[in-house]
Amino acid sequence: MERRFKLEHPLDADPRRQEAHSSLRRSSVTEVLAHPEVHTDLPGPRSRELLARRDKAFEGPLRNYINVPFVLGEKHGHVLTDVDGNSFADHVSAWGAAPYGAQPPSVRDAVATAWDRYGMEISQYLSSEPVITLAERLIDLAPAGITRVAPTVTGTEAVEGAVKLAREATGRPIILGFLGQYHGESTYLTATTSTDMPGNTSHYTQYVPGVILLPYPQRFRAPFHRGPGPHDDTLCLDYLREWILRYQVEPEQVAGVLIEPVAGEAGILAPSQAFWDGLTGLCREYGWKLLLDEVQTCMGRCGTVFAAERWGLQPDLLLVGKGVTGGGQAVAGVLGTEEMMANAHAHLGGTYAWEPAACAGALAGLDLLADGRILANAKSMEAIAHEELSPLIDELGQVGDVRAAGAWACLEFVTGAGSTVPDPAFQHAVHRAALRKGVFAISEDTKPLYRMQPALTMELELFRWSCRQVADAARQVSAR
């Protein structure tokens, strides 16, 4: 029997917000709808045809459709429909830059209006009001001490720029990074990425100097410890102080620490307060700058405007991207303190950095985020993820850990109970089974990590339904 439910957008209930947010509500599925369903093989016939054409036209990494066996036909609200008519709950688009679901009209209208007024412009040479206003709004939202902004187009450029600024401000050469993070696709930054997909960094990282990598803090597994945790994630700081600073580099050579407050590509790893207290203490002790990469976590992803707020962090440089666009055009940047940026000579950005229309869309997105119910919705999704998915740890031996931070959830799969040995094959089988059930999330066939990254505005009913489909998919694969 087909199940139907009412999807209620987090902004629907308050009539005082109806006019201001009517455009966002129209972008969401707020009527009584059937849950997403798949009616064909994956890929379906039309998708298969288009994927074959893609295979002939694109470069190597884009020729493989094992993770995404369909082609997008359209999307509305928080549901994708492929070219064969199959529909999926969307837990992927916000991985890019769609934090408020598909086509939030207020953002779209702001982009179009600014485009008609300003056209394309090199904003770092000729300013316009949306560019200046966006800088002011971001500074107002940022943690204490942030006073300046440097525009960029992408998160990759933001991280590159932060490294330049840290070295310029300190006169020191070394950047400390962490294994498992993701900072972009440029040659330099792949050296600081070192994800659990080493193919990403093959053939070129050995030529990049100035980076020292440490284990990213986590409690499920720890270096030099067998078996699953919970482990003390401050062990990573012991390793830094007692081994790296003793045998590899003098602390006075370190310019800064480049770290994601939550490591998304590594599986939604959120360090403890004790870790952050220890790391910021080392920064103060040795004069290191804290470079906080919030490209994935900024603008509500973790239930706060910036993830830094979860631990009371005050970075020297704060990197933004993705969600700051509001779902419009590309916007990223570096936010920093007066000391780091007021008199800096490092030039960031470029031709397309902070186009007026992109800034107008970002401002419309900030207007949406200002309604506290969106952040509350993200926090509710964190609770739902734990309610629906965490019991799988005791139920299925292959579920090693479940982690969630705001509108972000991850299941990590292992070979069996009591093991930390990754099981990418099991994870990918769960992904394929979840696709059949109408849930589309982030999966890579070489990783043991299954990640759900819904829009901040996803209806809680749809998110809970999605979690239950994923749980059933894991049970189905385990029973084979």
Mind listing the pLDDT tens digit of every residue in the chain (480 residues)? 344 444 455 555 444 344 444 444 444 434 445 799 999 999 999 999 999 999 999 988 787 788 999 999 999 999 999 999 999 999 999 998 899 999 999 999 999 999 999 999 999 999 999 999 999 999 999 999 999 999 999 999 999 999 999 999 999 999 999 998 888 776 555 555 445 566 665 665 555 678 899 999 999 998 888 888 899 999 999 999 999 999 999 999 999 999 999 999 999 999 999 999 999 999 999 999 999 999 999 999 999 999 999 999 999 999 999 999 999 999 999 999 999 999 999 888 889 999 999 999 999 999 999 989 999 999 999 999 999 999 999 999 999 999 999 999 999 999 999 999 999 999 999 999 999 999 999 999 999 999 999 999 999 999 999 999 999 999 999 998
Q: Are residues 99 and 131 in the same domain?
A: no
What the block records as the tokens of 249 is: 């580099």
Q: Are residues 351 and 448 in the same domain?
A: no
Q: Tell me, what DSSP letter sits at residue 305?
A: S
If DSSP codes are grouped into helix, strand and coil, which group holds residue 10? Answer: coil
- Domain total of the chain: 2
What the block records as the tokens of 177 is: 């990074």
What is the predicted pLDDT for the residue at 204? Answer: 56
Is the CA virtual torsion 3, 79, 260, 406 positive or negative? negative
Q: Are residues 338 and 388 in the same domain?
A: no
221-260 in b/e form (b: 16+ CB < 10 A) is bbeeeeebeebbbbbbbebbeeebbeeeeebeebbbbbbb
What is the predicted pLDDT for the residue at 128? Answer: 97
Amino acid sitting at position 135: A
Q: Are residues 239 and 301 in the same domain?
A: yes
The answer to whether residue 115 sits within a structural domain is: no
Please say which residue of 369, 388, 405 terminates a domain.
Answer: 369
Q: Give dist(CA 382, CA 31) in Å, integer.
A: 24
Q: Where are the alpha helices (DSSP H) in 58-146?
A: 93-96, 105-118, 129-141
17-38 in b/e form (b: 16+ CB < 10 A) is eeeebebbbebbbbeebebbeb
Q: Are 292 and 320 in contact (CB under 8 A)?
A: no
What is the predicted pLDDT for the residue at 195? Answer: 52
Q: Give dist(CA 79, CA 188) in Å, integer.
A: 37
- State the CB neighbour count (10 A cutoff) for residue 342: 10
If DSSP codes are grouped into helix, strand and coil, which group holds residue 69? Answer: coil
Please say which residue of 342, 369, 396 terminates a domain.
Answer: 369
Please say which residue of 309, 337, 369 terminates a domain.
Answer: 369
Q: Are 245 and 230 in contact (CB under 8 A)?
A: no
Q: Are residues 187 and 150 in the same domain?
A: yes
The answer to whether residue 422 sits within a structural domain is: yes
Q: Are residues 339 and 467 in the same domain?
A: no
What is the predicted pLDDT for the residue at 271? Answer: 97
Q: Are residues 181 and 207 in the same domain?
A: yes
Q: Give dist(CA 211, CA 215) in Å, integer.
A: 13
In total, the chain counts a number of residues equal to 480
- State the CB neighbour count (10 A cutoff) for residue 413: 27
What is the predicted pLDDT for the residue at 10? Answer: 55
The answer to whether residue 427 sits within a structural domain is: yes
Q: Are 337 and 155 in contact (CB under 8 A)?
A: no
Q: Are residues 199 and 95 in the same domain?
A: no
Q: Are residues 441 and 385 in the same domain?
A: yes
Q: Are residues 16 and 28 in the same domain?
A: yes
Q: Tell me, what DSSP letter sits at residue 46?
A: H
What is the predicted pLDDT for the residue at 136? Answer: 98
Question: What's the CATH code of the domain at 410?
Answer: 3.90.1150.10
The answer to whether residue 294 sits within a structural domain is: yes
The pairing of strands 174-179 and 146-152 is unpaired
Range of the domain at 392: 4-41+88-103+373-478
Q: Are residues 147 and 199 in the same domain?
A: yes
Question: What's the CATH code of the domain at 313?
Answer: 3.40.640.10
Instruction: Output the CA torsion 38→43→44→50 (10° steps).
Output: 140
What the block records as the tokens of 248 is: 């590899």
What is the predicted pLDDT for the residue at 191? Answer: 54
Find, among 93, 88, 95, 116, the residue nearest to 104 by Cα.
93
What the block records as the tokens of 191 is: 């050296």
What the block records as the tokens of 131 is: 């560019």
Q: Are residues 130 and 278 in the same domain?
A: yes
The answer to whether residue 336 sits within a structural domain is: yes
Q: Are 258 and 192 in contact (CB under 8 A)?
A: yes
Q: Give dist(CA 230, CA 84) in Å, integer.
A: 45
- State the CB neighbour count (10 A cutoff) for residue 119: 10
What the block records as the tokens of 366 is: 């900030």
